[in-house]
Amino acid sequence: MSIWNHLLCRARMIHKKCRVTDVPYLRSNNVFRCEVPDDKVRWSVDFPEYSPPDYTDPKTLSRAWADPEPTAGKFKWNAVDGKINRVSFLGDYAFDATSRPINPIGRTGLRGRGVLGRWGPNHAADPLVTRIKNDKLQFVAIKRGDTGEWAIPGGMVDAGELVSDTLKREFSEETLGGKARAELEQLWNKGRELYRGYVDDHRNTDNAWMETTCVNFHDTTGLLDEVELQIMSRRAPPPIEGLYSLKVDNISYNTTQADLRRMFDKYGEIGDIHIPRDKYTRQSKGFGFVRFYSRRDAEYAMDRTDGRWVEGREIRVAMARYERPIDERGTYTRRGRSRSRSPRRRSRSRSPRRSRSRSPRSRSRSASPRRSRSRSGSPSNDRRSASPNGKDASPDRAGSEERRSRSGTHSRSSSPRDRD
């Protein structure tokens, strides 16, 4: 979000970006805003022919942090509703005939909530970090993934979070790879608020809008020279080559990178932590990645944290999909544990007869007839190799194997290629 845009909005108090009609609204293929002339933006101006489309992104509706319809829940409007701040910086807002809040600046050409998570004000925080270098004023910026514009590295204020914490968290996540830097604590202690109010944002609708608090942190002692800012996009995490990644599922939407670091750094050196966020709302998607330099550290961390209860949720920790599985001896194997599931989840989805052992070889080459029948629908290559002519030595055994092969189950026995 651009600070210059905030200042202009405060001076003129009329929005432009959220009245664009020549492109579809975000995440929609054919939802266009209706045209609203400048002189018809104010709600106080009569506009009888105004009939905008009503759109709320279905994907946003499925998020745990998103509001339900106003008629489906009890809201404390114009107040702090539990951990959610529903107070507008512009004062009390009004409501339409459907009990939805009305954008205090005026019409936008679109009803509903769009891609925003809250009815009414959606609060963000923008840290404007500046310095003077080579006689020039510089500020830290990122390039937005959704619009391509250069912007301050800000984001949404999570439920129950202090704005001051959001400012530090967003700057850390966007420019420092999630690493809290002690060197910057002096900088955070001398911030000066520049703006608090409405944002002319392309996500705004008649019933949901962005508001922000922008705080300037000016570096006068060269603190920024001591930290390495990362060139990052909001659309992807930093490079992960050479790291061993754990996917952490079912985390709270309030969980931050710093929270994950505190949870996992006791198990080994962490190279990167990434929590994917919605590119429009900047809300967490409910999972994250913790990347270790050592595969043994990654395995150890997974074993110690999978199934742990954190903030009232049972988190699931497993090797990320793009990682090759690692067995308990720390060697790579072609088969074995699921790349996206933990041992605990596998035990629920597969036969209870199967061992919970983490060693894939001990499971796939067991000599137990009971285990063989429960997992294999065709003769084992290992067994065939016991006969000189490549066939089973026992006719009864061969018949038994043939009957099992007709059952339609898939073979999971090892092949010569698996044993290479």
User: What is the per-residue pLDDT across 330-345, written as a single tens digit (0 to 9) for each?
Assistant: 333 333 333 444 444 4
CB 358 within 8 A of CB 337: yes
Q: What is the mean pLDDT of residues 172-178?
A: 60
Evaluate if residue 122 carries a pLDDT over 90: yes
Better-scored residue on pLDDT, 145 or 402: 145
- Of 45-54, 125-134, 281-290, minimum mean pLDDT range: 281-290
**pLDDT reported for residue 348:** 43
pLDDT, mean over the chain = 74
CA angle 148, 247, 249 (to 5 degrees): 95
Is pTM beyond 0.75? Reply is: no
Angle formed by the axes of helices 163-175 and 257-264, nearest 10°: 70
Better-scored residue on pLDDT, 3 or 281: 281
pLDDT band at 280 (very low <50, low <70, confident <90, very high): low
**pLDDT reported for residue 413:** 40
Q: What is the mean pLDDT of residues 115-130?
A: 92
CB 143 within 8 A of CB 232: no
The model's pLDDT over 198-256, given as tens digits with 9 standing for 90+, comes to 999 999 999 999 999 999 989 888 877 766 555 444 444 456 678 899 999 989 877 87
C-alpha distances (whole Å) from 63 to each of 66, 132, 172, 277, 318 are 5, 42, 25, 12, 23
Domains of the chain: 3-226 (no CATH), 244-348 (3.30.70.330), 368-419 (no CATH)
The model's pLDDT over 106-116, given as tens digits with 9 standing for 90+, comes to 999 999 999 99
The model's pLDDT over 31-71, given as tens digits with 9 standing for 90+, comes to 999 999 999 999 999 999 999 999 999 988 888 778 988 87
